[in-house]
Amino acid sequence: MQSPADILKDIWTSAGGDQAALERVGLTGEEPQIPSSFRVAVAGQTTIAAAGLAAAEIWRLRSGQVQDISVDMRHAVAECRSERYLRVDDKPPPPAWDAIAGIYKTGDGRFVRCHTNFPHHRDAVCKVLACEAARDKVQAALMQWRGEDFETAAYAAGGVVALMRSYDEWSALPQARALAQLPLISIEKIGEAAPKPWPQRSSRGSSNNDRPLSGLRVLDLSRVIAGPVAGRTLAAHGADVLLVSGPELPAIDWLTIDTGRGKLTTFIELKTETGRAQLRELLEDADIFSQGYRPRALAALGFAPEDAAKINPGIVYVTLSAYGHAGPWAERRGFDSLVQTTTGFNDAEGKAAGLEGPKELPAQMLDHATGYLMAFGAMMAKARQVRDGGSWHVRVSLAQTGRWLWNLGRLDGGLNTPDLTGEAVHTAFIESMPSGFGTLKAVRHSALLSTTPAQWSRPAMPLGSHPAQWPARS
């Protein structure tokens, strides 16, 4: 199996990174760190390191100074489960899942997973099954269905579910074959534009302004974990990140708190012309537009990648999808747990544990790793824009990150590893900070940069706390 250093090298060079920069990276720790037959700890460590190295390289381009980067594997995997360890006024997180979310058997002896944390997704499942929102009712109804038929019908009704497949079953699908033709991260030029110089560095020497991404403006249109983690990472390196949500959009409060560190947050109603005009005005002055909605959703509102490049030539547009931008499932909704289920991870982990049914990975690793890859791709594309000009489109997906994780190999006996306890994490990796919710105790960023330490200079705040405008550049 590849070493962590070789895995990082592949990520870094695939996006055009200078190999010489890798000499300044230190990766510490041994695997496994948490119980899994997959290399989840290495996946977290190397994607976080890639984003940290991109930030350090941007600092070199802006200041002429090189710096060292280190990422400890144990700290990285704790950060990839940051939502578990968050405390608000010393209170732990509430239950993470809706009452009917989870795994069920179907009439043909298969397993399906229902993701019902958002009310409209729960309603879609219950409508298809013609049953009440209770586990026993859902299970009884599903015994009248073939698993694949239910998956198809639920998606058509606006739900998000997944049939559990083996890796071989998934690999035989046209969607898996389409992903096999794509890179882990796609960075493509989508328009002509003059190079935009880096914002002028502050002369005051402030730690909040003299950082790799200081002065860069990021529009963050994302929810749940992967996209918000990308924005949180860019904020940790000094970017002004403005999270744009809608007042009627459902959200998961605990995740909003954990991934909201370092960000401004505003409400814009994109279903109105006034709201779309607000977003266009923000986009005109943005450097990066990061979004996790299905492509046609934003395209219908006038914010497809090509639209953004016309509004703001030189923009870096980042797209997150569940199953990739090519293939018959390109428009399909999805979350980490569903992608794990349908691409073979739950089946393989269950078999490794000697179980009859599925077993989840011990972290939402597809989400977290994809979030760090989004941040990495955004920074690498921005560096290209400054050097070569153009507008750029960065694309990542949960399923493609899953394909990469699978190809890292398996760990014999990995499931026998003791889990990483909250007590151990809180002893080693937690920082305390104020927020709009109370005092947070949260996992600090695990990429340690020797000259420009990562930090969140803005507190997490309730959604919609700020006006729809950019702060002045220092």
Name the amino acid, one letter, at 122.
Answer: R
The answer to whether the CB of 396 falls within 8 A of the CB of 322 is no
Rounded Cα–Cα distance for residues 230 and 224 (Å): 11
Rounded Cα–Cα distance for residues 225 and 214 (Å): 24
List per-residue pLDDT tens for the chain, 474 residues long. 999 999 999 999 999 999 999 999 999 999 999 999 999 999 999 999 999 999 999 999 999 999 999 999 999 999 999 999 999 999 998 877 788 888 999 999 999 999 887 888 899 999 999 999 999 999 999 999 999 999 999 999 988 899 999 999 999 999 999 999 999 999 999 999 999 999 986 544 444 468 999 999 999 999 889 999 999 999 999 999 999 999 888 888 999 999 999 999 999 999 999 999 999 999 999 999 999 987 688 999 999 999 999 999 999 999 999 999 999 999 888 888 999 999 999 999 999 999 989 999 999 999 999 999 999 999 999 999 999 999 999 999 999 999 999 999 999 999 999 999 999 999 999 999 999 999 999 999 999 999 999 999 999 999 999 999 999 876
DSSP letters spanning 321-389 = ESS-SSSTTTT----HHHHHHHTTHHHHHHHHTT-SS----SS-HHHHHHHHHHHHHHHHHHHHHHHH-
Say what angle helices 119-129 and 147-156 make with each other, to 10 degrees. 130
Classify domain 4-94+176-327+361-449 at the CATH topology level.
Answer: Rossmann fold (3.40.50)
- pLDDT tens-digit map of 397-441: 999 999 999 999 999 999 999 999 999 999 999 999 999 999 999
β-pairing verdict for 217-221 and 186-191: unpaired
The helix/strand/coil state of 102 is strand
Mapped to the 3 state alphabet, what secondary structure does 372-385 carry?
Answer: HHHHHHHHHHHHHH
Q: Does the reported pTM lie above 0.85?
A: yes
